[in-house]
């Protein structure tokens, strides 16, 4: 039987050889954390390579994602569907071993990591999901949800501010099944970190309410194993295991130095490491006894035992079991779409004039009781975002139906945790803040779309219309910026009906996130036929046409500016100009429609077009062309009542009429 060091060396040399073959990558972290990974994966981690999606598996996250070859080596050695040829193709086009781990691309990868600290925040979300699900579904003697979340992280993760946001909240929430391993090697890309990172990290985490296990030798398997046992014994606090390691362990001249952080070791250095660690095997050559050592544990047994328990659980609790399985599959209740459509039709008939943030809350009141998987939260703005509904229950309470997270002022951590909640499974998360503060969460929003995660990001106070708080709180460029994120659906509804449709669209979407953008001020209800109500889901549709088939001008608007477009259309028609008004609640969805639909809404023969939106104007040029006009705002706002601001910045009927005459 191979020794632990030999098993760990398999990680080291698969990683170093793959980086060398790719001529790029990060060999230092995998070589430094190999001993920790070996103990965790061979002795502790509950998983099944034959079923990477087993619901009750432990989650393993590599937050320091530049060390991706450590994860790929682990997956290969443990028997996942990741053959050696894929490791040889590290960082190459269409391989299953990209430069940083990507969820849904490589079997066994739980989340996409690379932007430092976000994997850690994702892990906090996963641990929260486990805790809330366990409270809902577990019964005495039948713990169908009972697993840990383990995360590897480095100095860089801890320097990023998101680590404070997420870890502070993790301590408050008492996420006892979250265990983090800090790769305390004292090295980053620029060199020894003592020049820029001198925090008392253990004391910092103790202040958060974590259990901290200090001064663990990250190359001593017995110390590592004991630390893990101590961590698992603590049920009320997350644990940080502080592992002193040597980056690039085994490299004769580069170990412990930044030279091995982000560049291949070089053939001579790898040869020296082979000699130093007594690893005589050729690149990518793993002896059968090493494979046997890595696959000695019956990993399928844990799932088999769980399956037997779940079968008994299902017999005793058939409705609970069916609900758990449905939620873990990510399927909506069978009656949701019909109920949502009925609510939308009711809204259209009643025609309420409310702020779209209020309409959003009304949609939550209608949809929330239908969706036990819905879990919400806000960054200390619940009363302004209106994201609490009558069924909202604080996750810090002991209620088994808890479904609301008070994130505090932690926009970045909030959205990254929401990604983790979604990735864990069993939940459909939504989070919320003011639109202008989407900047704080920006990279987590990008990761939502890139991974992708099924998350809903709610943003209120969507323009200069929020008024007196002034330009620091008035989003200008934010709508365009969010729309430019690939695979991100941005909805800005014009009234209560479009608001409900946007919620339905976000809830039913399974291949990525949605951003729902809502107003502070009241929005006028718009008249529609049943066909037009159905057309809202296409992202852009004709709201009104002149009685004659032919029109002279198209007005395009979103959100609060749709009402202004309708007013301008009536004024223009009174002067003899025939106007079509197009509501564009989601340009991303509209752009994905067949050409026949897009041409039907915005026919090429009509070149006289004006777009109206209280945001930067450049975005709309793709719809109006160089011969059209855009009424937008290309400066920062000001502090004043909303009605004064709209007039001051030219969002008036008069301005639209003047623009129309200039075409």
**558, burial (CB in 10 Å: exposed 0-12, middle 13-18, buried 19+):** buried
DSSP 435: G
3-state secondary structure of 416: helix
Decide if 26 contacts 183 (C-beta within 8 A): no
Residues 6 or more apart from 375 whose CB is under 8 A from it?
Answer: 132, 395, 403, 404, 405, 421, 427, 428, 429, 430
SS3 content of the chain, % helix, strand, coil (to 5): 45, 15, 40
3-state secondary structure of 91: coil
Q: Which residue has the tokens 């049943």?
A: 530
3-state secondary structure of 313: helix
**5, burial (CB in 10 Å: exposed 0-12, middle 13-18, buried 19+):** middle
Annotation says 20 is catalytic: no
Q: How crowded is residue 384: how many other Cβ atoms within 10 Å of its Cβ?
A: 16
What pairing do the DSSP bridges indicate for beta strands 553-557 and 609-612?
A: parallel
C-alpha dist (Å) from residue 52 to 80, 129, 630: 8, 18, 50
Question: How many residues can be counted in the chain?
Answer: 663
**371: phi then psi, degrees, rounded to nearest 5:** -130, 85
Angle between helices 4-22 and 28-39 (to 10 degrees): 150
Q: How crowded is residue 298: how many other Cβ atoms within 10 Å of its Cβ?
A: 9
C-alpha dist (Å) from residue 466 to 474, 483, 502, 632, 640: 7, 21, 21, 16, 9
C-alpha dist (Å) from residue 300 to 43, 51, 149: 14, 9, 19
Q: Which residue has the tokens 């009927």?
A: 653
3-state secondary structure of 406: strand
Could you give the dihedral angle defined by the CA atoms of residues 212, 216, 219 and 225, in that order, rounded to the nearest 10 degrees? -70
Residue 107's closest CA among 128, 74, 134, 80? 80
N-to-C CA span, the chain: 82
The DSSP annotation for 212-279 comes to: EEEEEETT-HHHHHHHHHHHHH--SS-EEEEEE--TTTT-TTTTTSGGGTSS---HHHHHHHHHHTT-
* Cα 294 → chain centroid: 33
Exactly one of 269, 411, 498, 563 is catalytic; which is it?
411
b/e string for 19-47 if b means 16 or more Cβ within 10 A? bbbbeebbbbbbbbbbbbbbbbbbebbbb
Encoding tokens for residue 86? Answer: 């894929």
**484, burial (CB in 10 Å: exposed 0-12, middle 13-18, buried 19+):** exposed
Active site residues: 411
């Amino acid at each position: 039987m191979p020794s632990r060091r030999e098993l760990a060396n398999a990680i080291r040399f698969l990683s170093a050889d793959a980086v060398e073959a790719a001529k790029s990558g990060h060999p230092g972290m995998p070589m430094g954390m190999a001993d920790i990974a070996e103990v965790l994966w061979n002795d502790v981690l509950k998983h099944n390579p034959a079923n990477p999606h087993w619901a009750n598996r432990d989650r393993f996250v590599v937050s320091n994602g530049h060390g991706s070859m450590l994860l790929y080596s682990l997956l290969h050695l443990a028997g996942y569907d990741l053959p050696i040829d894929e490791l040889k193709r590290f960082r190459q086009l269409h391989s299953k071993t990209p430069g940083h781990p990507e969820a849904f691309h490589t079997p066994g990868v739980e989340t996409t990591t690379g932007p430092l600290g976000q994997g850690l925040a994702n892990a906090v979300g996963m641990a929260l999901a486990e805790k809330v699900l366990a409270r809902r579904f577990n019964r005495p003697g039948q713990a169908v949800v009972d697993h840990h979340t383990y995360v590897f992280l480095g100095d860089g993760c801890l320097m990023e501010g998101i680590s404070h946001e997420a870890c502070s909240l993790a301590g408050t929430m008492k996420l006892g099944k979250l265990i983090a391993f800090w790769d305390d090697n004292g090295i980053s890309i620029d060199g020894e970190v003592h020049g820029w990172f001198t925090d008392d990290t253990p004391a910092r985490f103790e202040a958060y309410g974590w259990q901290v296990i200090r001064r663990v030798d990250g190359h001593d398997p017995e110390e590592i194993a004991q630390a893990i046992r101590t961590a698992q014994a603590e049920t009320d606090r997350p644990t940080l295991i502080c592992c002193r390691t040597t980056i690039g362990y085994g490299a004769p001249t580069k170990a412990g130095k930044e030279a091995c952080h982000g560049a291949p070791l070089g053939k001579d250095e790898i040869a020296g490491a082979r000699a130093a660690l007594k690893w005589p095997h050729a690149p990518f050559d793993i002896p059968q006894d090493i494979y046997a050592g890595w696959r000695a544990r019956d990993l399928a047994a844990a799932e088999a035992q769980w399956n037997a328990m779940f079968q008994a659980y299902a017999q005793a609790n058939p409705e609970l079991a069916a609900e758990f399985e449905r939620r873990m599959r990510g399927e909506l209740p069978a009656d949701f779409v019909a109920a949502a459509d009925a609510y939308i039709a009711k809204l259209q008939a009643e025609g309420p004039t409310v702020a779209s943030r209020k309409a959003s809350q009304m949609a939550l009141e209608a949809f929330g009781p239908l969706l036990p998987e819905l879990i919400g939260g806000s960054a200390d703005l619940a009363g302004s975002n209106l994201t609490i509904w009558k069924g909202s229950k604080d996750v810090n309470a002991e209620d088994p139906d808890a479904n609301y997270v008070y994130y505090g002022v932690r926009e970045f951590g909030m959205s990254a945790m929401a990604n983790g909640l979604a990735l864990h499974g069993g939940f459909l998360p939504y989070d919320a803040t003011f639109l202008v503060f989407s900047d704080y969460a920006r990279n987590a929003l990008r990761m939502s779309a890139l991974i992708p995660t099924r998350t809903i990001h709610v943003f209120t106070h969507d323009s200069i219309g929020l008024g007196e708080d002034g330009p620091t709180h008035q989003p200008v460029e934010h709508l365009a910026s969010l729309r430019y994120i690939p695979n991100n659906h941005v909805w800005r509804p014009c009234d209560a009906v479009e608001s409900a449709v946007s919620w339905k669209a976000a809830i039913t979407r399974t291949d990525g996130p949605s951003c729902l953008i809502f107003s502070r001020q009241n929005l006028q209800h718009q008249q529609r036929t049943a066909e037009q109500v159905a057309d809202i889901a296409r992202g852009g549709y004709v709201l009104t046409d002149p009685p004659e088939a032919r029109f002279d001008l198209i007005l395009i608007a979103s959100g609060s500016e749709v009402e202004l477009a309708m007013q301008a259309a009536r004024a223009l028609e009174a002067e003899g100009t025939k106007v079509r008004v197009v509501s564009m609640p989601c340009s991303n969805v509209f752009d994905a429609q067949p050409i026949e639909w897009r041409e039907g809404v915005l026919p090429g023969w009509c070149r006289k077009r004006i777009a109206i939106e209280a945001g930067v104007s450049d975005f709309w040029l793709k719809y109006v062309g160089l011969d059209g006009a855009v009424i937008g705002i290309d400066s920062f706002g000001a502090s004043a009542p909303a009605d004064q601001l709209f007039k001051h910045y030219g969002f008036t009927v008069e301005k639209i009429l003047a623009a129309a005459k200039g075409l």
